[in-house]
Amino acid sequence: MAAAILLLALGTLLVYPGADLAVRGVSAIARRTGLSAFVLGAVLFGIDIEGLGATLVAAGRGETQIAAGGAFGTIVFLFTAAFGAALVLARRPVPSPPPISLAAPSVGVWACALAISDRFVSRTEGLLLLGLYVAYVVLLVRSRRDRDDADPHGESEDAPAAPDEGHLRWVLLTTCGLVLLSVGALALVVGGSRIAAASGLASGFVGAAILGALTSLDEVLLEVLPIRRGQPDLALGNLLGTLMAFTTGVPGLAALVRPLSLDSGANLAFLAAAVTYGIVATVLFARKRAGRALGAVLLTLYLLWLLYAGSV
């Protein structure tokens, strides 16, 4: 138990400086290259390395209920606890991304729902889900390129700044930040998993509520820091990119390692993920922004989900 607590402390000490460097680096790269902060957030932060690694390891060990629950629990934690905290701490309401960016992940949600409808994801279904994620990333990058081609002289907040500092420096800082973030989050996962293993909780709940939360603790900072620093596109890119990754690419890869068999805990986590995405998307579509009221609702929903999922 002492070793587990030490790992939790070590992870806590590493995730903040890692997230801080990563956010600063990606923001600088976006300004200096003209790339969209939303796209960079979706691609670089969307695949949560700790969540992906934990899901694949669980699948490889035959613990497919934990693997599926961990993937979907990551989404629930990000959309409720992480994004909710970011909205509550935001200095001003967060503007909505373009409608197509907000709606695109719904394709992944529907595809995942079809794949898990029989509580089983075969390797063929996993390959299709993985292909859908690759197509999403390609279209995301291409849509930005098409927008720039259509308006080559237009000015935007993503327009490249004067190259007062080399791009290489910011790439290295971003890489260092992501490494620190990953090491810190891995320490949190290992320490938390040891404590969870001794608790005797059900596999589905451990995967969805505990593993999903532990692997996503760094995501709180990747939501809060960009929004507090006036880079909401980076936070929203991370939010929606993670949703797409963990409904298609991550469970798809896990199913290729070992076909996934889901229990009620994993199914409940997916349902919670779909519902919270629907709430966030509806508010952003209707109001064109999100503020502290939505943040408070999301944090409340996370607590209610934990209480309900733990009692099932």
Assess contact for 223 and 295: CB atoms under 8 A: no
Most confident segment among 32-36, 37-41, 145-149, 289-293: 289-293
Terminal C-alpha separation, the chain:
27
Domains of the chain: 36-147+187-311 (1.20.1420.30)
Give the pTM.
0.76
Which DSSP string corresponds to 206-240? Answer: IIIIIIHHHTTHHHHHHHHHHHHTT-HHHHHHHHH
Q: What is the pLDDT of residues 83-141, one digit of tens each?
A: 999 999 999 999 999 998 899 999 999 999 999 999 999 999 999 999 999 999 888 87
Contact partners, residue 277, CB within 8 Å, separation at least 6:
75, 79, 105, 106, 109, 243
**Which residue type does 110 have?**
W
Q: Which residue has the higher pLDDT, 27 or 71?
A: 71
Q: What is the pLDDT of residues 158-182, one digit of tens each?
A: 444 444 445 677 677 667 766 765 6
Assess contact for 102 and 285: CB atoms under 8 A: yes
